[in-house]
Amino acid sequence: MTKKMRFVASIAAALALQAGGSGAQSPEEWFRNGRAAVEKAKQEKPVLGHARNVILFLGDGMGVSTVTAARILEGQQHGMLGEENQLSFEKFPYVALSKTYSANQQTSDSAPTMSAIVTGIKTNDGLISVNERVARGDFRAVAANVMKTILERAEDRGMATGVVTTTRITHATPAACYAHSPDRDWESDSDQPDAANEAGFPDIARQLIEFAHGDGLEVALGGGRAKFLPRAVHDPEYPDKTGERHDGRDLTKEWLTRYPKSAYVWNKAQLDAVDIKQVRHLLGLFQPSHMQYEHDRAKDAAGEPSLTEMTGKALDILSQHQKGYFLMVEGGRIDHAHHAGNAFRALTDTIEFARAVKLAVERTDPHDTLIIVTADHSHTFTIAGYPRRGNPILGKVVEPGHPTKEYAQDALGQPYTTLGYVNGPGYAGQSVTQPQGAKKFPHHGPGFKGITEGRPDLTGVDTTAPDYMQESTMPMESETHGGEDVAIYARGPQAHLVRGVLEQNVIFHVMAEALSMPPLPGPLPPGEREF
């Protein structure tokens, strides 16, 4: 093809895109690329040996629609149309679906779903790594119904362990790795009922510090300082705030006295300064509550590390251990942004989560490290309309064949966005600058034509703005989880066992098989763990 022909072809592609075509690949290229994908798959060989290390990445609330939208947004941020992009973990060779219902919930919450992933047994809503025989809040039943986690089992065999999250380190997902509680909300003693405190039942923060398996967690990084500090102690970053603990204990100091060669940090500079040759037990608590969303992190006055940076430091420390390691990394605020009806922050946190996975892939060997990426549950997040290829994923729908900014219209003649929620606080167009309004319905009778007013006119609204709140179908103070299956992505030893449609608790058994851990069915024997 001559230079002139290539120029003409590029113009034709641009015109095709403007007219609504893909403009990205010719029919021949689609066919060739499809065949190439099959040939690549044919060359993929499962890693049949056992793993030295396991890294579990958990995108909280990262349903399939979230992955799709984040993939497109990341691609568009890099000047691509977007749809053809792949997030780092989408390149993994093995993918399956996970059924996320819990023992008593059709649409589940994070406590039983993460408990299933790390213990191999499904349980009830609100419970942290105890079986369904425990009624919520019944601390007296915990000891007899504890479900041993894969992190605890790893510690017991001499492996190093770590938990990294952007939520409070005592929040449901990270807590399920190291704690056992009849209520996910019992994060500090101030969250527990008096009867539990008087009986000496340890809150989740205490269980992290008093962790009795192996030589204790080597790495714990996230938010939640207030759960570890007494009420008399002022927060180092926010002097007007204090800790929450009623018992007067400063658990950050107890971490330092409990473990030799330990460190406690609360900002990015301190984390960066940690000497991995001198520190074997690292606790980092970077906010009194949850950490900042990735979009807002740069505004943090004290300086806050990214999920990728925390993952890197965790790998620095854990990889020094001769017997391998188990690491759980949670992109926890994906979930929180969805609850707030804010797709921008949910997707940008998902993109940062994918960067953390990319770092782990670059830092590990697929022949000795199993990496699993999954979600605990989905959200009511939707991708709808008929937007043309390359349409801004956070924008309003423009259909193929229409000139730029001629938006598709709903039955009321109003433009609408590609992304939305089935329920949540964005009902009737609420955003940071738009108050919530009530939709009005005409009488249901002859000639009923549906909603006649109520939606805002989005023509002049920048729906790609970080603070824009996507519309929802029904009003709720907080958007809810979704009950559909989520994806599991895997690479490394025994990753080929991730196949088909799996019960969520099977993920534990895949990880245990990779680590050659003997089966340990049911709760621990009586007396093995006492409170």
Tell me the per-residue pLDDT of 219-250, one tens digit each, with 9 for 90 and over.
999 999 999 999 999 999 999 999 999 999 99
Q: Which residue has the tokens 């892939």?
A: 361
Average pLDDT over the chain, rounded to an integer: 90
* More confident: 38 or 526: 38
Q: Is the pLDDT of residue 130 over 70?
A: yes
SS (H, E, C) 135-204: CCCCHHHCHHHECCCHHHHHHHCCCEEEEEEEEECCCHHHHHHHCCECCCCCCCHHHCCHHHHHCCCCCH
To 10 degrees, the CA torsion angle through 406, 412, 417, 423?
A: 180
Per-residue model confidence (pLDDT) at position 432: 47
Report the length, in residues, of the chain.
531
Which positions are catalytic? Answer: 110
Tell me the per-residue pLDDT of 99-116, one tens digit each, with 9 for 90 and over.
999 999 999 999 999 999
The rounded distance, in Å, linking the Cα atoms of 115 and 504 is 10
CATH 3.40.605.10 at 53-380+481-514, yes or no: no
Is the CB of residue 271 less than 8 Å from the CB of residue 284?
A: yes
* Furthest C-alpha separation in the chain: 84
In order of 10, 113, 174, 275, 337, the CA distances from 340 in angstroms are: 42, 21, 21, 38, 5
Lowest mean pLDDT, pick from 69-78, 340-349, 470-479: 470-479
Q: Is the pLDDT of residue 370 over 70?
A: yes
Average pLDDT over residues 67-83: 97
Per-residue model confidence (pLDDT) at position 475: 82
Q: What are phi and psi of 507, to 5 degrees?
A: -55, -40
Per-residue model confidence (pLDDT) at position 454: 64
The rounded distance, in Å, linking the Cα atoms of 176 and 111 is 7
Question: Domain segments of the chain: what residues?
Answer: 53-380+481-514, 395-439+448-479
Tell me the per-residue pLDDT of 164-184, one tens digit each, with 9 for 90 and over.
999 999 999 999 999 999 999
For residue 291, the 8-state DSSP code is P
Output the CA angle 285-290-294, nearest 5 degrees: 100
Query: b/e for 336-351, b at 16 or more Cβ within 10 A?
Result: bbbbbbbbbbbbbbbb
Q: Is the pLDDT of residue 82 over 60?
A: yes
